A and B are shown apart, each in its own frame.
Chain A
Amino acid sequence: MDLVQLQRQLVDYRTSLYHEGFLDEQFTQLQELQDENNPDFVVEVVSLYFEDSERLLNELSKALEQQIIDFKRIDAHVHQLKGSSSSIGAQRVQKLCIVFRNYCEAQNVEGCLKCLQQVKHEYSIVKTKLESMFQLERQILNAGGSVPV
């Protein structure tokens, strides 16, 4: 595939992500912050997000398996996840976190478990999407072109 096509594909893909609500304007803010001084800013932030989120999701799974569930701790973790997601603009994950927090407040175990599944699901989707987007960008860079903003 030639460069122009790749670039167009990337733009379309990005637009679709916005359109479908996977990303919101916060993600564009991140892209704005990327410049010559900080060429890989977005990738770094997103990788940090993936690490952080995976850690948090594991913690959450473990906490919900306990006999006596510590809702405060779960709430703290979900809060963290929410904060991270909103910082990079992962809109759907962030919204699910809000719902998750409500269940925590209500101390509804079933709700929490269900929500956790949903969060994991959404997270994996957004992760896949972001990774494919980054792959496209790498392809463009390898082809010698510049990533359209």
Chain B
Amino acid sequence: MDSCNCIEPQWPPDDLLMKYQYISDFFIALAYFSIPLELIYFVKKSAVFPYRWVLVQFGAFIVLCGATHLINLWTFTMHSRTVAMVMATAKVFTAAVSCITALMLVHIIPDLLSVKTRELFLKNKAAELDREMGLIRTQEETGRHVRMLTHEIRSTLDRHTILKTTLVELGRTLALEECALWMPTRTGLELQLSYTLRQQNPVGYTVPIHLPVINQVFSSSHAVKISPNCPVASIHPSGKYTPGEVVAVRVPLLHLSNFQINDWPELSTKRYALMVLMLPLDSARHWHVHELELVEVVADQVAVALSHAAILEESMRARDLLMEQNVALDLARREAETAVRARNDFLAVMNHEMRTPMHAIIALSSLLQETELTPEQRLMVETILKSSNLLSTLINDVLDLSRLEDGSLQLDLGTFNLCAVFKEVLNLIKPIASVKKLHVSLNLAPDLPEYAVGDEKRLMQTILNVVGNAVKFSKDGSISITAFVAKAELLRDSQTTEFFPVPGDNHFYLRVQVKDSGIGVSPQDIPKLFTKFAQTQSTAIRNSGGGGLGLAICKRFVNLMEGHIWIESEGLGKGCTAIFMVKLGIPERLNESELAFMPKVPPNHGPTAFPGLKVLVMDENGVSRKVTKGLLVHLGCDVTMVSSSEECLRVVSNEHKVVFMDACAPGMDGYEIAVCIHEKFTKRHERPIIVALTGNTDKVTKENCMRVGMDGVILKPVSLDKMRSVLSDLLEHRVLFEAI
């Protein structure tokens, strides 16, 4: 049978194997045709697939394979040559395509594979980045928290707020179970639990500071993980729960002294506080590095904020203290002012109150003196008068205390009898001393000059005061007064370190020592003696009458006399010695006649001291004219009265020895008269002495009088004694200018 060109398969078609092949071919074809469809469908779905034309190729290849298998279905039975040719063509095409595809795939598959690996790689990277980003985000968040925390901490200067805020914020940021702050106690030996997050009022747990774990934390500037079982971490009982990890960090407590000007604070501070942070119980969390860093940063910030708060507290405290002191000082100042004013008022009042009775005493005693008295009575009256005069001077001096202190008080220098001064002091003190049965002795050195130049009244006052103190403070025994001229070697006394007296030709230093056997003075009281109004205990008890001014005034007088005064005593009950040195002038050599008149003219007993002295009185005022006339008549003068300057010039003659004129009357120029008198009487011995009586107390008047050639100026009102002494002085010296 070879009439048809059919190709006969090798095996009969009814063979079972053939049947299986037939079915499989069919299904293969089916699958092959469906695969490209699926591919197309899915490729269309995904937009990303890069190798489309490969897919096309692959599709073609698969389709052709399918076709091949499909056509194979006809080759199981007898088939014509055409079918075989189609089959062959299909197979050829398929082969071609598949070979091309295979060749292509050799190029493509590594690419595809690498795509896959890259994809895997990228996925890993993405996962890693995700993780990292998560980390960064948490860090940034914590950073934000720290900034916020810092801001909160630094926006307050209240220590408690700072610490509380810190704990709260840290607790929130790090989701802590517990956060606690341990502060060192005052003694520095223990740490005390000061603040916690969860517990409201921590009871004062204390922990000794020298635990090894604490030392470990303090010696490192980083946050250190510590065991949850150590004392600082066991704040509340954990019991059944597993405690979370605990971290502790040191918080340096900085002081003002730690901040140097051009330097950062040295961390050599001794004091630290301890901050303990606990993660939640029963959690598997661990402390991450960034969290530890956060804790360290916060700890530093807290340290700074605390130090600011501390500084502020200190400055507030200092300011309050200053305000208090200010108030106290103000009060003290006002009190002092009140005291000063009270003192001045007191002095002013006492001024008036004391002068009035003094005047009465002095006036009446002088009157008494003028009457008939027995010698004893006269002596008594004279003593009264002298004492009152001294007292009057003392009052004047006390009340011019300010003048004394200013140093504007000036001494009334004059020549006087030194020995007489001492004798008078002795006379004054003898009565009182004899009442107390004290023996008073006076030793004047033989080389003591008889006369000296100085302020007699004040010297006597000083001596009297010193001697009076000696008498006052002695109950029994004796008082010795020694006076001598201080020699050069004695001048360099150890007592007087600031005092370097230089003896010279016309002055000498008088040294007076008054030694008593009384109650003495204790060494620590000696400096106080010369301060006014200060009385030592012993004097205050015994002597409620003394004003405490005596020695202060003496010191000032002695200082004015360029001297020095001090007191030596060996102690209470051992008596004391008062010593002073003053500078006195040596009077010029005087002749005998003048010497006789040196001492003050003793009050004359008789009314006529100047018998027949012709005197001219010129005064406009009738009353004062009469009074002046009365004065002079009482003294025995022959008085002519005139009431105007023309009359005066007319009447005056060389028989008149003295002319008294009222120089303070307005409209009457006493000065002119003086000039005219000078012109009238050219020869000095013919001219009467011209004296102005004036109520003006200023230097200008005095100078004017001196300028026009008057011989003297007297202050009105004139007492009898004053007139007497004035006349005697005038007649002796022809000049008298009373100190105004």
- Verify that A and B bind, or say they do not: yes
Interface of A toward B, CB cutoff 8 Å:
15, 18-19, 21, 24-26, 28-33, 35, 37-38, 41, 44-45, 48-49, 52, 75-76, 79-80, 82-84, 86-89, 149
> Is B504 positioned at the interface, with any CB of A under 8 Å from its CB?
no
Instruction: Contact check, B717 vs A87: say whether CB atoms are below 8 A apart.
Output: yes
Instruction: Contact check, A25 vs B621: say whether CB atoms are below 8 A apart.
Output: no
Contacts A49-B623, A84-B624; is A38 near B666 (CB within 8 Å)? no
Instruction: Contact check, B359 vs A52: say whether CB atoms are below 8 A apart.
Output: no
Query: With A28-B364, A83-B695 given, can you name 10 additional A-B contacts, CB distance below 8 Å?
Result: A25-B363, A29-B719, A52-B622, A80-B620, A83-B623, A83-B624, A83-B665, A84-B621, A84-B622, A149-B371
> Is B607 positioned at the interface, with any CB of A under 8 Å from its CB?
yes
> Is B604 positioned at the interface, with any CB of A under 8 Å from its CB?
no
Instruction: Contact check, A35 vs B634: say whether CB atoms are below 8 A apart.
Output: yes
Write out, one digit per residue, whether chain B residues 528-558 have a CB within 8 A of any chain A CB (1) or not (0): 0000000000000000000000000000000
- Find the A residue at minimum CB distance from B718: A29
Write out, one digit per residue, whether chain B residues 611-640 have a CB within 8 A of any chain A CB (1) or not (0): 000000000111110111011011000000
**A52 vs B624: C-alpha distance in the bound complex, in angstroms?**
11
- Find the A residue at minimum CB distance from B662: A83
**A88 vs B718: C-alpha distance in the bound complex, in angstroms?**
11
**A28 vs B371: C-alpha distance in the bound complex, in angstroms?**
13
**Chain A hits for B497, CB < 8 A:** none
Question: How close is B352's CB to chain A, nearest CB, in angstroms?
Answer: 10
> Is B367 positioned at the interface, with any CB of A under 8 Å from its CB?
yes
Lowest 4 A-B CB distances belong to which pairs? A84-B623, A87-B624, A83-B621, A33-B630
**A37 vs B717: C-alpha distance in the bound complex, in angstroms?**
23
- Find the B residue at minimum CB distance from A81: B621
Considering the complex, which residues of chain B in the window 263-322 have a beta carbon less than 8 Å from any beta carbon of chain A?
none
**A80 vs B720: C-alpha distance in the bound complex, in angstroms?**
22
**Chain B hits for A49, CB < 8 A:** 623
Write out, one digit per residue, whether chain B residues 35-72 have a CB within 8 A of any chain A CB (1) or not (0): 00000000000000000000000000000000000000
9 contacts across the A-B interface (CB closer than 8 A): A24-B359, A26-B627, A33-B633, A33-B720, A41-B630, A48-B626, A79-B666, A86-B716, A87-B624
**Chain B hits for A87, CB < 8 A:** 621, 623-624, 626-628, 716-717
Interface size class of B (residues with CB under 8 A): 20 to 34
Interface of B toward A, CB cutoff 8 Å:
356, 359-360, 362-364, 366-367, 370-371, 607, 620-624, 626-628, 630-631, 633-634, 662, 665-667, 695, 716-720
Instruction: Contact check, B717 vs A76: say whether CB atoms are below 8 A apart.
Output: no
**Chain B hits for A37, CB < 8 A:** 633
Give which listed residue, B363, B367, B624, B630, contacts A86 with CB less than 8 A. B624
Question: How close is B381's CB to chain A, nearest CB, in angstroms?
Answer: 13
**Chain A hits for B631, CB < 8 A:** 29, 33
Residue with the greatest number of chain A CB neighbours at <10 A, chosen from B360, B620, B627, B662: B627
**Chain B hits for A149, CB < 8 A:** 367, 370-371
Contacts A28-B366, A79-B666, A149-B367; is A18 near B359 (CB within 8 Å)? yes
Question: How close is A22's CB to chain B, nearest CB, in angstroms?
Answer: 12
**A16 vs B716: C-alpha distance in the bound complex, in angstroms?**
24
Instruction: Contact check, B367 vs A32: say whether CB atoms are below 8 A apart.
Output: yes
Contacts A19-B356, A30-B630; is A45 near B719 (CB within 8 Å)? no
